[in-house]
Amino acid sequence: MALFRSHVLAAAVGQVVAILTVVGFSPLLKGVIENLKAKVQSRQGPSVLQPYYDLRKLLGKERTVTGNVSFLFRVAPYVVFATPVAFAMLIPVLTAMPLSWALMADMVGSGFVIGIGGFFGNLAAMDSGSPYGGLGSSRSRFVSSLAEPTFIVVFFAVGFISGGTVPFAVNGALFTSSSHIVPSHALVAAAFLMVVLAEAGRLPLDNPNSSQELSMIESSRLFEFSGPDQALMEWGGFMKLFVLLIVWLNVLVLPLGLADAITVPALLVAILTLSAKMLGAAVLLVGIESTLAKIRILRVPEYLGGSFVLAFLGLVLYTVGR
């Protein structure tokens, strides 16, 4: 605390560092995943920095917007970019204790925040009038609305076990109690990972590398965007995966290595452990995406129903074991 005299200032700095971490490192996660995936397939693969190059290229381009779109289309990229940033304030990215704005919303509220981005993305895609945009939006709604129950049950289960739904309070409470919550915990964590994959448009629901328009979900919503708009939309997508994985890692799976105070060394250590955990998550994602095939759209309810059943089971088992 020697560095920052006032608590308020310290908290503000912590918040800013957390946001910068999310904004700055999320393209790196994407790059690492692509690179690892290529390595698994015995290819050289793009550089891990490739997403940064892409973003720079897009940001430098001229913006082109179709004539017959409403303001939604112009606003959407900013909303899609801003919502994960706002979300990052609500969750323990680097610090174990809540920062000044963290108590604005609990897990349900943060879910709404992240949902706004998806909502605007869908509206904009439909607004453009492109058939693929409409297709992507409707499929994306389909997936999200089915993922919703699982999210809610996960929040309930976590809230039930830890006695609160603010991510910072939950964080850790799962790990201090006795061994009988472990089975519930494992089930809930697995269910949450399943819906994270669905929400972030990863395999087995959506292939982010697909080039076939008919099988796309997320990527088909981006067709009509160009230049800086496209950059913001894609960056927003990277951040969404990044923050959802942070929730999974820092709240549900491994809340270790978070900073206890806002000091430079503590924050550095926290960033390093977060990188290590993210690398682990990237390996896990690559493992999942290299072994599982994309499931047919009609089987999406089975997949998300499965995640719901797992989460619900986690909730019920906790009450049985008590």
Binding positions for another protein, rule: CB under 8 A: 178-180, 182-183, 185-187, 190, 302, 305-306, 309-310, 312-313, 316-317, 320-321
- CB of 166 closer than 8 Å to CB of 107: yes
If the CB atoms of residues 32 and 304 are measured against another protein, the closer one turns out to be 304
Question: Hey, how many other C-beta atoms are within 10 angstroms of the C-beta on 264?
Answer: 12
Q: Which is nearer to another protein, 202 or 221 (CB)?
A: 202
Helix residue ranges, H only, 214-322: 227-246, 264-291, 300-321
Evaluate the CA torsion angle 99, 82, 80, 108 in order and state its sign: positive
Q: Alpha-carbon dihedral of residues 54, 200, 236, 126, nearest 10 degrees?
A: 100
CB 115 within 8 A of CB 272: no
Residue with Cβ nearer another protein (12 or 295): 295
Nearer to another protein, 45 or 305 (CB): 305
Of 260 and 302, nearer to another protein (C-beta) is 302
Inter-axis angle of helices 227-246 and 71-90, nearest 10: 30
Find the shortest distance in angstroms from Cβ 299 to another protein.
8
For another protein, give the closer residue by CB, 42 or 176. Answer: 176
Judged by DSSP in three states, 294 sits in: coil
3-state secondary structure of 212: coil
- Supply the minimum distance, in Å, between the C-beta of residue 198 and another protein: 15
| C-alpha span between 28 and 101 (Å, rounded) | 26
CB of 285 within 8 A of CB of 35?
A: no
Closest separation in Å from C-beta 318 to another protein: 10
Q: At its nearest, how many Å lie between another protein and the CB of residue 212?
A: 21
**What is the nearest approach in angstroms of another protein to the Cβ of residue 162?**
17
| Alpha-carbon distance values, 125 to 122, 249, 252 (Å) | 5, 31, 33
Residue whose CB is less far from another protein, 186 or 266: 186
Within a 10 A sphere around the Cβ of 298, how many other Cβ atoms?
A: 7
Minimum distance between the CB of residue 182 and another protein, rounded to whole angstroms?
A: 4
- Closest approach of Cβ 188 to another protein, in Å? 11
